[in-house]
Structure 1
């Protein structure tokens, strides 16, 4: 097939193309299918379009055939919202496979059924607002109304598609820009204090995002010490990796001699499909420092994995992943989530989600004295504003220390002048300052002993 007709090929995240360089590409589930073609755009210019993330060669060929069959006529009247959305999806470049799947779901499940028949140039703010009002009446798979955050993600897909139509000259303005959306408040982590545990046992009420204290986390890690995936839970709890980053980690990304891991890919599940691709954002591609406890845990895990490989023999699949099934295949994201939930239920501790370990790692680091920039780098946030807005929850001792320090600052204004004209601090203020220092020291000691208690 020529470049004019399109080229189909398979590639993987390690950079190998087709089966000439990567011996794993022939294995099912490794890598994705892509196509490359030169097309005439809406302005009559020739340009290259490359799309990837297809789970089979058949799907890649179908998408390529759809792109070749697209009408590139610049007449506005020739386009409906549906035809434009499908054209936009087909011609997207430089996009993560999981993001493409998410965009496609938004279009197929929401935008096209609600807006698809409307001529593109006649789409109004009222049309979009009416569609969103209908979306808010729908239920998700758990029987709950669609959240404001879900509506905002659907809106972002539509806005991006219409922005492209403006660039191509099909629209003079983007009507999605003027639609008012309900705010999507980001939940803040809340600590499992004795009072909240009592209230949860009494009436079952709890916040959406709950995190364990240092003592509770240490108890959990001790209770699962013999679990086969203990090193994975340890890594999530202490370094705050995302779920997909942990199960996407390969041994080539781990340097135990220098105590570093390189986050270069992730395994996610979108629409029932497991996709291996780059991290969530550019900032998510990062280097994470490891403490000595985690280094020892990973060394022991590598030795156990080697023993498993010898035991399984020819049935072992050498995938290079750090955390695998018993046959060497990488873990599925949903399996990890359900396995963690079972371990939490067996531990007798108040419930937290797997992603809450990430919240907890940031909260503990903040309470231990880490500044927000350090936490941002550790978690791979693109903006420090997100870090500050989400991870400012602190442990009780640190809260008391902050309250005492604030009182010290205020009461310090009541200092009296000595006979020699020097500032002298009143005895009661000095005692508060001393108590504040001791409180901060207790908070630091509590956070530093979290790892030791888990061993």
Structure 2
């Protein structure tokens, strides 16, 4: 006669309602039981562990929460339902509003139409890979019906496909959103593993940026002289502050006597709140930086100009303490700043670049002057120096040749044959690796 002690662990009888625990063929342990679900229904869930005790502890925790009246998150079977649940109940509390808006657009435009009908528990890496390959070769004018909505069709509706496909960067972004959603499903133990992590999309080619050269930077500063926002443009080029960080600066953040500025917040336009002051992009972005003498003088002149505008506006002035405001004291919309920047470039006779390229220009010019990466990292507010090294530590061909010529002088002596070179002004890659 066998006793409970002699019975194998995977076959022991558990009390009614305690669920079942058994060992799988892959040596993992699986525990299953019924818990409270949405709509006051019961749902059978499965949890996994490396040992019987681990799996049982997870199931016990789920059942205890169910007994307290807390329903488990329910994906309602399909990936579309889980993505909707994830956006509305998880991502909305973890992401900035603008980031959440981009995630929502990505889910509704690509993920749900492409994979939404798949069962969450039955989604495989092959399904994800097949869909991404199809998305990579699909014309978006055809897939999203863009051409049919045009006044004059010039793609599928006219019988000629323009082959407007998604860029590798967009595909990588879509893949990362799916990975984030499935990763949370794993944490909630809706699925045993994140199948999207087993799919490799390849490394997209880095996006090129157009930093100003030293001559162009001087020309830009000359053109900004006399502009109402001259202090802002000078501060952007000298310190590499982001657009939102510049617009979020307050006068109490500046210590003009000490020559420093504290970066504590950023100004952004959100869908629901309009112009909103938010915390900095990362914890490392909250920093204190030194201000050059030229910027200190410009800020003092800007403060005097703002005082005159305040007196002229009278009761219409809306005081909020921001350094850079409209003529009525309101915060400056980032889009309006971009327009003013583009107009300034045109009047100064410079090529058109993004406002963010001023930040790239700061880092590039500092690197060309031999400033160490750690100093640039602190100035730009990067969380890790690896970000600075990867994104900004490109070395122009002219600087590479100087280094190579120096080594050649040591190895071969002073007699070095001069060779014809390019001008060294090739556009750098924003993610060029430094070896």
Shift of 1:292: 1.0
Q: Which residue of 192, 196, 201 corresponds with 1:172?
A: 192
| C-alpha spacing 1:74/1:293, structure 2 compared with 1 (3 Å) | closer
Question: 1:385 maps to what in 2?
Answer: 386
When normalised by structure 2's length, the TM-score is: 0.69
- Counting matched residue pairs gives 332
| C-alpha spacing 1:285/1:45, structure 2 compared with 1 (3 Å) | farther
Listed as ranges, the matches of 1:46-445 within 5 Å are 72-73=71-72, 78-92=76-90, 93-136=93-136, 137=138, 138=140, 145-187=165-207, 208-269=208-269, 274-394=275-395, 398-411=399-412, 428=415
Q: Report which stretch shifted further, 365-374 or 102-111.
A: 102-111
TM-superposition CA deviations, 1:100-124 (whole Å, max 9, x none) = 2232222222222222222211112
Query: In 2, Cα distance between the equivalents of 1:152 and 1:296?
Result: 45
Q: Which consecutive unaligned segments of at least 5 residues does structure 2 have?
A: 1-60, 147-161, 419-435
Question: 1:199 maps to what in 2?
Answer: none
Aligned with 2:313: secondary structure?
helix
Aligned with 1:354: secondary structure?
coil
CA contact (8 A) 1:259 1:290 kept: yes
When normalised by structure 1's length, the TM-score is: 0.66
| C-alpha spacing 1:119/1:377, structure 2 compared with 1 (3 Å) | same
Query: In 1, Cα distance between the equivalents of 2:170 and 2:299?
Result: 37
CA contact (8 A) 2:231 2:302 kept: yes
Query: In 1, Cα distance between the equivalents of 2:95 and 2:259?
Result: 32
Shift of 1:73: 4.4
Shift of 1:253: 1.8
Query: In 2, Cα distance between the equivalents of 1:85 and 1:75?
Result: 11
CA contact (8 A) 1:42 1:74 kept: no
Query: In 2, Cα distance between the equivalents of 1:101 and 1:263?
Result: 25
Query: In 1, Cα distance between the equivalents of 2:269 and 2:360?
Result: 21
Query: In 1, Cα distance between the equivalents of 2:65 and 2:257?
Result: 53
Query: In 1, Cα distance between the equivalents of 2:63 and 2:343?
Result: 56
CA contact (8 A) 1:96 1:278 kept: no
CA contact (8 A) 1:362 1:375 kept: yes
Query: In 2, Cα distance between the equivalents of 1:310 and 1:105?
Result: 45
Aligned with 2:356: secondary structure?
helix
Shift of 1:314: 1.0
Shift of 1:397: 6.4
TM-superposition CA deviations, 1:299-358 (whole Å, max 9, x none) = 111111111111101111112211111111111112212221121112112332211111
Aligned with 2:267: secondary structure?
strand
CA contact (8 A) 1:101 1:270 kept: no
Query: In 2, Cα distance between the equivalents of 1:242 and 1:396?
Result: 27
Q: Which has the larger radius of gyration?
A: 2
CA contact (8 A) 2:74 2:82 kept: no
Aligned with 1:280: secondary structure?
coil
Aligned with 2:288: secondary structure?
strand
| C-alpha spacing 1:73/1:210, structure 2 compared with 1 (3 Å) | closer
Q: Which consecutive unaligned segments of at least 5 residues does structure 1 have?
A: 1-40, 47-70, 188-207, 412-425, 433-455
